[in-house]
Amino acid sequence: MTAPLHILHLEDSRIDAELVREILRAGDLEIEVECVDSKDGFVAALARGHHDIILADYSLPRFDGISALELARTLRPDVPFLFVTGALKDDSAVETLRLGATDFIVKQRLSRLVPAICRALREYEERRHRAKAEAALKFIAEASARLASSLDLKATLGNVARLAIPAFADWCIVELASAAAEVAERVATAHVDPGKQSLLHDLELRIDDLLRTGASRLHEQLNRAELDALVADARHAEDLRQLAPTSMMVVPMIVNGRVLGAIVFGFGTSQRWYDTRDLATAQNLAERAAVAVENARLYREIQRAVKAREELLAIVSHDLRSPMQSILMTATMLNCKLADDDRMEPRVEGILKSAEIIDRLLGDLLDLARFDAGGLVLDRGDRDLCEIVRDALAIVAPQAEQKRIRLVDHVAEAQLRAHCDPTRVSQILGNLLGNALKFTPEGGTITVAGKVIPGQGKVQIRVSDSGPGISDADREHLFERHWQARSQQRGGVGLGLSIVKALVEAHGGEVAVMSEIGRGSTFSFTLPAAAEHPPSPRAGGAHEHTRRG
């Protein structure tokens, strides 16, 4: 059944008032009319504030229509106001519209009254829906900003609950599902009346079915039976009645198919009601809140993982590396004392090589950890790259000789100088040369070359090999940590190239690779040229000590 149309009629003539009432009923309008004939009666009726439309005569003995219009625009600005009057001059009619009247109908043409009222109500609904949509967009935008402003979950959801008051609700409750999924923990409440906060805090609503199904609930106009069904027992039913709810919505917070909790919105003291448009707005907000809840959870997990990593690194740096250094030192001394034909020599050399591999891996792990934590220090100065490259080649020469791989140095010809940390550049070259030796077949060639990049204040070093080459698909992942191509032989844990990338970028340079299957690969990296002000490192994990030398 359609709700009746509540009309406030300002009219001093009982005959005219009854005539208007009969015409409206004849127009198939279900109406309830409150008729007043004075200023005091009109103001009192406006204060009660439940009318859908206002009709007013233009001239009354002790009051006038223009004054009534001004009062209505002040006290009930959204309610359509129509003049129903006798003869009205054109200039007076125009003036009523200018002052905010919706329409005017002369009593000699009351056949226009019903269509005029229907049109006014239709335009009012359109304005109301448009204003409501704009308010919803503003509410969602502000709530989204609050949700994105912090990873402190309870504080953020508390801000959202308060933001809903009073534009979108008279009171709001936010609950998060526990691990049991059917039990909720209250994390935020807000009420337009601070004195009723305690009621919200203690109120226990039945939302277990929503936590299971993820289905929203809209109670447009609450009745006694619905109120009782929303709470766990009679005590909480009384608490809910004290909130005097007229309308409620309960919407789930869902992410990746999981119900993380629920948000409850309620109208009460403002005598407003929710509709399906409001439910869509609430669901939009709940979706965004769910993402914020999930982000906060992931952030906490990351924090725990970082703490675990730091604890592991403390073990690596002390409890593992110190004994490994002792093993290395002892194996080296033992190897020096063994005769060439001692049958223990291969075993000692095996121990020495294994210890060196483990020590190098521990060093790689610590380097990456320092970089991630912003603790990697670069001791930079103007350095001769020819010397650094020559030393790096000398270190890998024994390995190259074992595999009959030819090492070619073209950097000496280029006479390159860079503003760099020589130890770290040696580490970059060592990783790239080690990678090239690993994949270059016996009898192959590894070439190191370099050049100045004109106009950029940079120098480039290239390490080329005659290995099998790298596919396009594999090349995309080369510098990712712990990644290794499936076609490659296993060795190490895939940290070398990620360390190269981190160290190059810490210098403000770039690393790249070119490769073709069957024709080898070329890894290149850039460094700031000497006597230039180096660009700020793009990665934030390095500090710098600078000196010229």
Q: Where are the domains of the chain?
A: 5-131, 151-299, 303-373, 381-528
Q: Per-residue pLDDT for 220 more than 60?
A: yes
> Which comes out higher in pLDDT, residue 282 or 182?
282
From 3.40.109.10, 3.80.10.10, 3.40.50.300, 3.40.50.2300, which CATH number describes the 5-131 domain?
A: 3.40.50.2300
The dihedral over CA atoms of 415, 421, 424, 425, expressed in degrees to the nearest 10, equals: -10
Least confident of 11-15, 307-311, 339-343: 339-343
pLDDT-based confidence at 2, cuts 50/70/90?
Answer: low
Q: In whole angstroms, what is the distance from residue 169 CA to residue 267 CA?
A: 5
Q: What's the per-residue H, E or C state across 234-269?
A: HHHHHHHHHCCCCEEEEEEEEECCEEEEEEEEEECC
Backbone angles phi, psi at 358, to 5 degrees: -65, -40
Contacts of 217 (CB under 8 A, 6+ apart): 210, 248, 249, 250, 251
C-beta atoms surrounding 218 within 10 Å = 16
Average pLDDT, the chain: 83
* Cα–Cα distance measured from residue 488 to residue 468, given in angstroms and rounded to the nearest whole number: 10
Q: Is the predicted pLDDT of residue 540 greater than 50, yes or no?
A: no
Residue 438, pLDDT > 80, answer yes
pLDDT at 142: 84
Average confidence (pLDDT) over 120-137: 86
Distance CA 367, CA 377 (A): 10
pLDDT category of residue 181 using cuts at 50, 70 and 90: very low
CB atoms within 10 A of CB 355: 20
Q: How many CA atoms lie within 13 A of 189 on its CB side?
A: 15
Torsions phi, psi of 257, nearest 5? 80, 0
Taking the CB of residue 6, how many other CB atoms lie within 10 A of it? 15
Tokens of 417: 């100088």
Six token digits for residue 378:
């670069």
| pLDDT exceeds 70 at position 374 | no
Residues in the chain: 549
pLDDT of residue 532: 52
Tell me the mean pLDDT in the region 378-396: 90
In 474-530, the DSSP E strands lie at: 511-515, 521-528
67-94 pLDDT, tens per residue? 999 999 999 988 999 999 886 677 777 8
Give me the numbers of helices (H) and strands (E) for the chain, helices first please: 18, 18
Rounded average pLDDT over 396-402: 89
pLDDT tops 50 at residue 548: no
Amino acid symbol at 506:
A
Helix (H) or strand (E) run with residue 408 in it: strand 406-409
Residue 549's pLDDT is what?
A: 47
pLDDT tens-place string over residues 34-75: 999 999 999 999 988 788 999 999 888 888 889 999 999 999
Does position 317 have pLDDT exceeding 70, yes or no?
no
Q: What is the pLDDT of residue 481?
A: 67
How much is the average pLDDT of 1-16? 85
Residue 82 near residue 7, CB atoms below 8 Å: no
The set of residues, in sequence order, having a beta carbon less than 8 Å from that of 116 and lying 6+ positions away, is 82, 103, 105
- Exposed (0-12), middle (13-18) or buried (19+): which is 541, by Cβ within 10 Å? middle
pLDDT at 484: 57
Average pLDDT of span 9-15: 91
- The DSSP 8-state label assigned to residue 271 in this structure reads -
Contacts 24+ apart (CB under 8 A), 326-332: 327/351, 327/355, 328/352, 328/355, 328/356, 328/359, 331/355
Which has more confidence, 81 or 531?
Answer: 81
Looking at the structure, give the CATH architecture of the domain made up of residues 303-373.
Orthogonal Bundle (1.10)
Work out the pLDDT band at 504, boundaries 50, 70, 90.
very high
Name the CATH topology of 151-299.
Answer: Beta-Lactamase (3.30.450)
The string of DSSP letters for 51-93 reads: -SEEEE-SB-SS-BHHHHHHHHHHH-TTS-EEEEES---HHHH
Going by pLDDT thresholds of 50, 70 and 90, the confidence category of residue 1 is very low
Query: In this predicted structure, which of 77-81, 181-185, 411-415 has the lowest mean pLDDT?
Result: 181-185
Q: How many CB atoms lie within 10 A of CB 223?
A: 9
**Percentage, residues of the chain above pLDDT 70:** 89
What predicted TM-score, i.e. pTM, was given to this entire model? 0.53
**What is the SS3 assignment for 325?**
helix
CATH 3.30.70.100 fits 381-528, yes or no: no
More confident residue, 220 or 149: 220
The pLDDT assigned to 247 comes to 92
pLDDT class of 221 with cuts at 50, 70, 90: confident
Query: pLDDT at residue 216 above 70?
Result: yes
Contacts of 75 (CB under 8 A, 6+ apart): 43, 46, 47, 49
